[in-house]
Amino acid sequence: MSTVLTTDPGEAAAFIRDGEVVAFPTETVYGLGANVLNRTAIAKIFAAKERPADNPLIAHVAHVDQLTELVQHIPETAQRLMDAFFPGPLTLVLPKTNAVPASATGGLDTIGVRMPDHPIAQALIEASQAPLVAPSANRSGRPSPTTWQAVAEDLDGRIACILQGPPSTRGLESTVLDCTKAVPLVLRPGMISLEALQTVVPETYIPDQQTKAHRRSPGTRYRHYAPRAQVILAPSSDMVPRSSTCAFIGLTTPDFPTWVYQHVFPDQEAYARALYTAFRESDQLGVDAIYCQTVPRTGLGRALMDRLERAARG
Ligand code: TXA
Ligand code: MG
């Protein structure tokens, strides 16, 4: 299959309406979209990504009216969170309707829904006249793509179309929040911090990694976000060996910067925005190991540490 590149949401939407899959930009990472009600198209997403069938997809909407066909009802806490954070990088897990195919949700009776804060994503959803289920547009296990070029690197020839846009401005995926119980719980830390969620619903919490609740988000079980090079967590930039086969990324400049590839970011937002690109660029240079400076586990730091630890597990 030859993959069509376009900047026109209308041209991309025609592929969606034909039952094909289309990669598109969002503020977090690029997604690989299909009509949520089209089982054949959903199967194409899993095939293109080589994604395990029990890993559920997030449905993307352009306006709240589209939630009616996807979720049974919107609890009061979920409504407050939507008022505060939609559109934006927050995914709410809610009981699904029968209209949503089981293959979209990995067999679960819930569905994750989010409204991307991105004009091109919204234009594509509008022109497709349907909500779009979309995982990140990478091959399973690889770092998520934050540019259309990274999508092409993983999926060229495997999908019908890439809707080209600028690089993603946020860089890490949405926060996935289970809203099926009275108290919301974070299944995947992401671009909306726990602290921000707690300003709206103070009881919101992140379960301990080993608890059963955490296993409710099947995606968190799998190998994730990993470059080919070994990822090594470095609390300090100075404990890193000087080696021409290593890369360094972090927030403070090492004393002896002799890396093949070194990226020192001004703050956590910039670190998050560029992390997956740094992984991919390090791989292109053929480095053996990427030393990644750790950050405190608060605010955006929770999402950064989550992705770094998963990548380090390889
Ligand atoms: O920012 C994002 O969320 C991006 C962009 C494209 O929107 N999407 C994304 O999708 O990261 P994906 O498929 O790569 O990750 C979805 C995560 C997985 O960990 C999955 O297990 C979890 O969300 N998830 C989706 N639906 C769920 C559900 N019904 N119950 C529990 N976890 C769910
Ligand atoms: Mg993903």
Nearest CA to 218 among 70, 53, 102?
A: 53
pLDDT of residue 241: 75
Task: Give the pLDDT of residue 147.
Answer: 98
Could you give the 3-state DSSP secondary structure of residue 150?
helix
Give the CA dihedral 164, 156, 52, 58, nearest 10 degrees: 10
Q: Phi, psi at residue 186, to the nearest 5°?
A: -80, 120
Could you report the per-residue pLDDT of 168-192, keeping only the tens digit for each? 999 999 999 999 999 999 999 999 9
Residue range 200-213: mean pLDDT, rounded: 81
For ligand 1, atom 33, the nearest C-alpha belongs to 217
Is a pLDDT exceeding 90 seen at residue 242?
A: no
pLDDT over 70 percentage in the chain: 94
262 ligand 1 Cβ < 6 A: no
Backbone angles phi, psi at 92, to 5 degrees: -105, 125
**Taking 70 as the threshold, does the pLDDT of residue 214 lie above it?**
no
pLDDT of 260: 76
The pLDDT score that the predictor gives to residue 90 is: 98
CA of 304 to the centre of ligand 1 (A): 16
Confidence of residue 130 (pLDDT cuts 50, 70, 90): very high
Residue 120, ligand 1, Cβ within 6 A:
no
Over residues 246-274, the mean pLDDT reads 88
Q: Is the pLDDT of residue 256 over 90?
A: no
Q: Is there a contact between 311 and 291 (Cβ–Cβ < 8 Å)? A: no
Whether the per-residue pLDDT at 257 is higher than 70: the answer is no
Say yes or no: CB of residue 174 within 6 Å of ligand 1. Answer: yes
What torsion, rounded to 10 degrees, do the Cα atoms 161, 163, 164, 169 define? Answer: -130
CA dist 162 and 151 (Å) reads 8
Q: How confident is the model at residue 219 (pLDDT cuts 50, 70, 90)?
A: low
Which pLDDT does position 212 carry in this prediction? Answer: 55
Confidence check: pLDDT of 253 > 90: no
Q: What confidence score (pLDDT) does residue 175 get?
A: 98
Residues 6+ positions from 56 with CB-CB distance below 8 Å: 104, 105, 106, 108, 110, 111, 112, 218, 219
CB of 216 within 6 A of ligand 1: the answer is yes
Distance CA 111, CA 96 (A): 5
Residue 4's DSSP bridge partners are: 161
- Cβ of 297 closer than 6 Å to ligand 1, yes or no, is no
Which ligand approaches the C-alpha of residue 115 most closely? 1
| pLDDT 10s digits, 54-77 | 999 999 999 999 999 999 999 999
End-to-end CA distance of the chain: 31
The pLDDT score that the predictor gives to residue 129 is 97
Least reliable range by pLDDT among 31-35, 147-151, 217-221, 300-304: 217-221
pLDDT at 16 over 90: yes
- Evaluate the omega torsion of the peptide bond into residue 87 and state whether it is cis, within 30 degrees of 0: yes
Nearest atom within ligand 1 for CA of residue 30: 6
What spacing in Å lies between the alpha carbon of 196 and ligand 2's midpoint? 23
Least confident of 6-15, 87-96, 246-255: 246-255
Cα 130 vs. chain centroid, distance in angstroms?
21
For ligand 1, say whether the CB of 26 is within 6 Å of any of its atoms. yes
Judge if the beta carbon of residue 220 lies within 6 A of ligand 1.
yes
For residues 134-153, give the mean pLDDT.
Answer: 97
Return the number of other C-beta atoms located less than 10 Å from residue 131's C-beta. Answer: 25
- Asked which of 105-109, 213-217, 222-226, 234-238 is least confident by mean pLDDT, the reply is 213-217
| Alpha carbon distances (Å) from 81 to 84, 88, 90, 101, 179 | 5, 11, 9, 26, 10
Pairing, β 31-35 against β 132-133: antiparallel
Which among 107, 106, 122, 112 has a CA at the least distance from the CA of 70? 112
State in Å: Cα 293 to ligand 2 middle: 22
Q: What is the pLDDT of residue 126?
A: 98
| pLDDT at 13 (0 to 100) | 98
Cβ(141)–Cβ(158) below 8 Å = no
Query: How much is the pLDDT for 1?
Result: 87
